[in-house]
Structure 1
Amino acid sequence: MTDLPPTRASLAADLTALGLRSGDTVIVHSSLRAVGWVPGGRVAVTQALLDVLGPAGTLVVPTQTMENSDPKHWQRPPVPESWWPVIREHMPAFDPAVWPSRGIGALAEAVRTWPGAVRSNHPQASFAAVGAQASSLMARHELESHLGEGSPLAALERAGARVLLLGVGYDVCTAFHLAEYRVPSPKTEHGCALLTERGREWVTYTDVATNSDDFDKLGAAYEQTATLRRGSVGAADTRLFPAAEAIAFAVEWLRTNRPEA
């Protein structure tokens, strides 16, 4: 006899056993493949999270749109230099209502399009939220602060949010990027298509050059002292921990372990 698949109800029970509570604010990074096949897929997983959080809670996901960026930086795949001016001229301006997220999983798209979802207005590094604090958390997202003090990450830290890594590792832990803004870090030039008072424009600006290459090592070090809950949600190895604690640890770790910091 085969094991039964996880369901909305069983996933909610798993999340509750892990320590997620009604009224929590949580930023989720996920792999639905790791969770296993669920009747209803991304919809059922989103419902399970909202069931646990309740009407006073808030569910947050990253909804990045990094394809709206300068093609000279593209690597997967690169494009011919002769294309760059065409892309810069014709890339559609970012519209938070229509641009889909890319490369961060099916759950992010489910939350982005959920009834009542609020999305931050950043052309490359937006977040989306559903719940009691969605509007306040998404209200400020400065162009030159992808994942810094002027982004929803800093608002999540102030709100006492927790991080849920659902079937994924620390390499995708966006909260660690906020620490990069609090230590000496290199900067890079960005470009994107925006709607301005003059209409659609290609805009260039500078921001911190974030780098997650060593986040697995950072996460392993953080776990040694973390206020961490770890368990299975469906078939997914899952971690739950406070964002503020993880960010504070990351600041000190980066100062010690990155030469430029």
Structure 2
Amino acid sequence: MTQAITRAALSRELRALGLTAASTLMVHASLRRVGPVVGGAEAVLDALFDVLEPSGTLLMLLCADGDHPFDPLTTPADPEVGVLAEVFRQRPGTQVNDHAAARFGALGPQAAWLLGPAPLHDYYGAGSVLERFVQAEGQVLRLGANTDTVTLTHWAEYRAQVPNKRRVRRRYGRADSGEQWIDSLDDSDGIAVWPQGDYFPQVLREYLAAGHARVGRVGHCTAELFPAGAFADFAVTWMEDHL
């Protein structure tokens, strides 16, 4: 049987990885790969805030469960972003932004600024939460998450000089005003065709292989911690070279 992990052990491992109280942190996590934690998802969040508080801010992508008309305060997180995101959404003090396609949650001193006014269309581009996250010299923490889950890669898609970027227009149901149409770069299938398929995992794999991240054990998973700005710059260069 896999040994359960305590909140205190997670906090020690996060500090050993390089996480500090001054961080503005975006987390992508697979609780299954982290392993059984005494206290469950709440204890994982507690461990993160043991390190981040009082001056750090946690940011997570929430999006929305499409089975519900969108309400920024009450609609559950998209199940695809993971259980931890939904638990974080419900955590006392967590703030959210009002965007049916790109809802984020944040908790900490920089939360209100990070979640400030953002564009309805091209919601991962200029003026977005992701741009402000980079401006805040944020860090990305991956806790056993799939390699296609680094949301920051979408910000690089807007910056990259790639011809004929693919675009999409989607309809979202809102609880307050009925339907809403939103235009953006294609954030499902990518801005361009890459012959080998989904390029998000490849960008991350090459970034990690270049030794740019701090890598260590957190719980039962391999964790990676890296600066948002450096990763975005790497992703821009990769796209311009390959797409």
Per the normalisation by structure 1, the TM-score is: 0.83
- Does the CA-based 8 Å contact 2:3-2:36 persist in structure 1? no
Higher alpha-carbon Rg: 1
CA offset at residue 66 of structure 1?
6.0
Secondary structure of 2:140's counterpart equals: strand
Provide the rounded CA distance (Å) in 2 between the counterparts of 1:124 and 1:229: 31
Provide the rounded CA distance (Å) in 2 between the counterparts of 1:218 and 1:4: 33
- Does the CA-based 8 Å contact 2:118-2:127 persist in structure 1? yes
Number of the residue aligned with 1:167:
144
- Does the CA-based 8 Å contact 2:169-2:181 persist in structure 1? yes
Secondary structure of 1:109's counterpart equals: helix
1:182 alignment partner, one of 143, 150, 159? 159
Number of the residue aligned with 2:221:
236
One-letter amino acid of the counterpart of residue 167, structure 1: G
Provide the rounded CA distance (Å) in 2 between the counterparts of 1:46 and 1:194: 29
Provide the rounded CA distance (Å) in 1 between the counterparts of 2:113 and 2:46: 22
2:203 alignment partner, one of 218, 225, 229? 218
For the structure 1 residues 203 and 56, does the alpha-carbon distance in structure 2 shift closer, same or farther, using more than 3 Å as the test?
same
2:171 alignment partner, one of 178, 188, 191? 191
Number of the residue aligned with 1:85:
none
Number of the residue aligned with 1:77:
none
CA offset at residue 237 of structure 1?
0.8
Provide the rounded CA distance (Å) in 1 between the counterparts of 2:136 and 2:211: 19
Q: How is 1:21-36 mapped onto 2 (pairs within 5 angstroms)?
A: 21-36=20-35
CA offset at residue 186 of structure 1?
1.1
**2:130 paired with 1:153:** yes
One-letter amino acid of the counterpart of residue 235, structure 1: H
- Does the CA-based 8 Å contact 1:179-1:251 persist in structure 2? yes
Secondary structure of 2:41's counterpart equals: helix
One-letter amino acid of the counterpart of residue 188, structure 1: V
List, as ranges, runs of 4+ consecutive aligned residues in structure 1 with deviation greater than 4 Å: none
CA offset at residue 31 of structure 1?
0.3
One-letter amino acid of the counterpart of residue 22, structure 1: A
- Does the CA-based 8 Å contact 1:160-1:242 persist in structure 2? yes
Provide the rounded CA distance (Å) in 1 between the counterparts of 2:209 and 2:36: 32
CA offset at residue 235 of structure 1?
0.2
Provide the rounded CA distance (Å) in 1 between the counterparts of 2:85 and 2:76: 9
Count of residues in Structure 1 that have an aligned counterpart in Structure 2: 231
Q: How is 1:26-175 mapped onto 2 (pairs within 5 angstroms)?
A: 26-65=25-64, 67=66, 92=69, 94-102=70-78, 103-175=80-152
CA offset at residue 147 of structure 1?
1.9
Structure 2 segments unaligned to the other structure (5+ residues): 191-197
Number of the residue aligned with 2:195:
none
**2:236 paired with 1:251:** yes
Q: Considering only aligned residues, what root-mean-square deviation do their CA atoms show, in Å?
A: 1.7
- Does the CA-based 8 Å contact 1:21-1:52 persist in structure 2? yes
Provide the rounded CA distance (Å) in 1 between the counterparts of 2:92 and 2:12: 24
Provide the rounded CA distance (Å) in 1 between the counterparts of 2:211 and 2:170: 34
Provide the rounded CA distance (Å) in 2 between the counterparts of 1:48 and 1:227: 24
Secondary structure of 2:226's counterpart equals: strand
Per the normalisation by structure 2, the TM-score is: 0.89
CA offset at residue 194 of structure 1?
3.7
Provide the rounded CA distance (Å) in 1 between the counterparts of 2:3 and 2:207: 35
Structure 1 segments unaligned to the other structure (5+ residues): 69-90
Cα shift readout 1:91-131 (whole Å, capped 9, x = no counterpart): 73x22110110111111112111111111111122110111
CA offset at residue 3 of structure 1?
6.6
